[in-house]
Structure 1
Amino acid sequence: MIRSTLALCTAAALWGGAWLLMPPLTAMPTLTQALGIAPARADDDDWRDLHREVEDGRLVALPTLLDWLDERYIGQVLEVELERDDGEVIYEIEMIGPEGQVVEFEFDATSGELIGIEGVGISDMERPGAGEQ
């Protein structure tokens, strides 16, 4: 299994979502370097390949999924990982809710489809009326 950590936990907390305004994934190496966070695989070609996959439409841009979560759930992003395993590419997004609960959302990175939620107190994180969208 190859695991690429995008290391957004500190960025999300410190920047309060301002990094969402940056082009998808292009600012990640600079952002993580500025915050002193090293990605799991620091090779520049990995970042370029990932960005190219998003540009070519082979992967959903991370801000798209973060916007989807923000519309439906209350919480802050703690960590984002992109996992590649047996041909599947999955975003794992870990959030902390208003009561301190930690919940992990898994998305198919090629379609953007939510494929799993793990954690406790998930219903306490749901935004009112989010199910009606």
Structure 2
Amino acid sequence: MLTLLRYWQRLLCMRLRKALPVNVVAAVFAIALAGSAIGDQHWEALHSEVRRGDVVPLESILDWLEANYIGEVIEVEIEREDGHVEYEIKLLGAQNQVVEFEFDGHSGQLMKIEGVRINEMRRQ
């Protein structure tokens, strides 16, 4: 559990603190505190994969988004299906549009974008 909390604290302090409202940060920590031992094992396995280079760090994905799109991160999900890791990140645009980005967790490649007025959020 402590490893998960340290990971989120470091991530939020380094990357998302200025983009996320305080209530979202509080919700993330509440969810982390409510996690079970099984959840800890899942996160520990994910950390090991990142350290080995099998999975791209979330920070790299967020750096790419910040360099290419304008918006605030409002949600981050990490999903694993059949051993494959995907990052799903939602950005809130200036016109209150929500755009979801899906990335391959192993290669870091953008796989899909869904939303409205996506081009308005692209950096020039």
Into which bin does the TM-score normalised by the smaller protein fall? Answer: 0.7 to 0.9
Q: Kindly state the Cα deviation for residue 76 of structure 1 after the two structures are TM-superposed.
A: 0.6
1:20: which partner in 2?
none
Match of 1:15 among 14, 17, 27: 17
SS of equivalent to 1:58: coil
SS of equivalent to 1:70: helix
2:108: which partner in 1?
112
1:29: which partner in 2?
none
Q: In the alignment, is residue 102 of structure 1 matched against residue 102 of structure 2? A: no
* TM-score after normalising by structure 2: 0.73
Unmatched tracts of structure 2, length 5 or more? 1-6, 20-24
Q: Give the residue type in structure 1 aligned to 2:47.
A: H
1:38: which partner in 2?
31
How far, CA to CA, are the matches of 1:7 and 1:124 in structure 2? 30
Q: Say how many residue pairs are matched.
A: 107
How far, CA to CA, are the matches of 1:84 and 1:34 in structure 2? 22
How far, CA to CA, are the matches of 2:99 and 2:26 in structure 1? 27
How far, CA to CA, are the matches of 2:61 and 2:118 in structure 1? 17
Unmatched tracts of structure 1, length 5 or more? 1-5, 18-31, 129-133
RMSD of the alignment, in Å? Answer: 3.0
Alignment of 1:78-89 (within 5 A): 78-89=74-85
* TM-score after normalising by structure 1: 0.69
Q: Deviations over 1:61-120 (max 9, x none)?
A: 001000000000000101111111233211001110111000000000000000000000
1:25: which partner in 2?
none
Q: 1:76 to 1:34 in 2, by over 3 A?
A: closer
Q: Give the residue type in structure 2 aligned to 1:38.
A: I
2:117: which partner in 1?
121
Q: Give the residue type in structure 1 aligned to 2:111.
A: I
Match of 2:58 among 59, 62, 80: 62
SS of equivalent to 2:54: coil
Q: Kindly state the Cα deviation for residue 7 of structure 1 after the two structures are TM-superposed.
A: 8.3
Q: Is the 8 A contact 1:7 1:38 kept in 2?
A: no
Q: Give the residue type in structure 2 aligned to 1:105.
A: F
Specify which structure has the higher proportion of helix: 2
Higher relative contact order (CA 8 A, sep 6+): 1
